[in-house]
C-alpha cells in the first residue's frame, strides 16, 4: 500500500496538470477513492495550484494595465509631436519676421532691450566719450555720424536701440535738418568719406529712390553705418551693427523701413547667414 502511495504522490503533480496517460489517470483516481491520506495531499496541491493561478491572473491584469497606460502615453506624445510639427510648418510658411516675433515673445526679450529717444543722451552712445557698452561697437567706426549735436542742428528724429542677449547689437538713427550752409558742408564731408562696397551683403540691392546714399561703411559680418541725403537740407544717419550674421531683435519694429537698405535681411537664419556660416 505504501508503495502504491509513493507512486501516486509522484503522479499527482502530473495528474493535476492533466498530462498523465489515460492508464495512470485511472490509477490515480481509483487510488484517491480509497486512500484518505493521498486524497488529503491531492486537495492541498489543488488549493496551491488555484493560488498560483490567481497570482498569474493578477500579473496578467497588471501587465494589461501597463500596456494600456503605455499606449495612452504614446498617443499623447504623438499628438504633441504633431502639434509642434504643424506650428513649425506654419511659422516657416509665414516667414522669418513672424518667427522672430514668436521667439521674442517666448523669450520676453523686450525687457532687456534699451531704447532711448532722448537726443540729449546722444553723446552717451556715440563717439569717444560714450559709455563702455557703446565705445567700440564690434570694431565699426561711427565717424559718419556727427560727433555731437550742436545748436545749429534741428533733430527731427533720434533713437538708440541696444540689446545684448549673447552678442551685443546696436541700431540707431538720427535725422537732422540743417540750414543751407551747414547742409552743404555736411554733404561735402560725407561725400569725401572713404565709403566701402555694400551691395550683396545681407541681400542688399540699394536704397529707396527718395534717398541718396552719400557715405557707407559696410562689413560683411557686422553690418552697416551710413548716411542718406533726404534732400531739402535733411540728412539721415543710420547704424545697424550686430554679429554672427544676424540680429536677435525684430528691427523693423524700431526703425522705418524707408531708412533701411532695400532687400536687407538680417533676421534669424537669413539666406546670407546660411550661405556664409
Q: 17 pLDDT band (50/70/90 cuts)?
A: confident
Is residue 229 within 8 Å of 175, Cβ to Cβ?
no
Q: 212 pLDDT band (50/70/90 cuts)?
A: very high
Q: 220 pLDDT band (50/70/90 cuts)?
A: very high
pLDDT digits (tens, 9 = 90+) for 182-193: 999 999 999 999
Beta strands in 83-241 (DSSP E): 114-116, 154-163, 169-177, 212-219, 223-231, 234-241
Q: Is the pLDDT of residue 25 over 90?
A: no
Per-residue cell: 274: 546660411
Q: Residue 202: helix, strand or coil by DSSP?
A: helix
Q: Is the pLDDT of residue 59 over 70?
A: no
Q: What pLDDT was estimated at residue 95?
A: 59
Encode burial over 87-96: b for 16+ CB neighbours within 10 A, e otherwise: eeeebeeeeb
142-149 average pLDDT score: 95
76 or 230: which carries more pLDDT confidence? 230
The DSSP letter of residue 261 is P
Q: What pLDDT was estimated at residue 38?
A: 83
116-141 average pLDDT score: 92
Q: 56 pLDDT band (50/70/90 cuts)?
A: low
Amino acid at each position: 500500500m505504501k508503495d502504491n502511495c509513493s507512486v501516486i504522490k509522484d503522479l499527482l503533480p502530473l495528474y493535476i496538470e492533466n498530462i498523465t496517460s489515460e492508464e495512470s489517470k485511472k490509477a490515480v483516481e481509483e487510488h484517491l477513492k480509497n486512500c484518505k491520506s493521498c486524497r488529503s495531499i491531492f486537495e492541498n496541491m489543488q488549493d496551491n495550484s488555484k493560488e498560483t493561478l490567481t497570482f498569474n491572473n493578477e500579473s496578467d491584469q497588471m501587465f494589461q494595465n501597463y500596456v494600456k497606460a503605455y499606449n495612452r502615453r504614446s498617443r499623447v506624445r504623438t499628438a504633441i509631436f504633431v502639434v509642434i510639427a504643424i506650428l513649425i510648418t506654419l511659422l516657416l510658411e509665414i516667414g522669418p519676421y513672424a518667427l522672430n516675433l514668436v521667439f521674442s515673445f517666448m523669450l520676453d526679450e523686450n525687457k532687456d532691450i534699451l531704447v532711448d529717444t532722448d537726443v540729449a543722451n546722444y553723446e552717451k552712445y556715440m563717439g569717444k566719450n560714450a559709455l563702455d557698452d557703446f565705445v567700440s561697437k564690434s570694431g565699426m567706426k561711427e565717424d559718419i555720424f556727427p560727433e555731437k549735436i550742436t545748436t545749429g542742428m534741428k533733430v527731427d528724429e533720434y533713437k538708440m536701440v541696444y540689446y545684448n542677449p549673447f552678442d551685443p547689437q546696436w541700431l540707431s538713427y538720427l535725422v537732422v535738418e540743417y540750414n543751407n550752409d551747414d547742409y552743404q558742408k555736411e554733404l561735402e564731408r560725407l561725400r569725401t568719406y572713404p565709403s566701402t562696397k555694400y551691395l550683396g551683403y545681407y541681400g542688399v540691392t540699394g536704397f529707396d529712390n527718395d534717398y541718396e546714399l552719400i557715405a557707407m561703411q559696410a562689413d560683411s559680418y557686422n553690418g552697416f553705418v551710413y548716411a542718406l541725403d533726404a534732400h531739402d537740407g535733411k540728412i539721415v544717419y543710420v547704424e545697424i551693427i550686430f554679429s554672427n550674421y544676424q540680429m536677435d531683435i525684430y528691427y523693423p519694429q524700431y526703425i522705418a523701413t524707408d531708412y533701411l537698405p532695400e532687400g536687407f535681411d538680417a533676421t534669424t537664419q537669413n539666406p546670407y547667414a546660411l550661405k556664409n556660416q
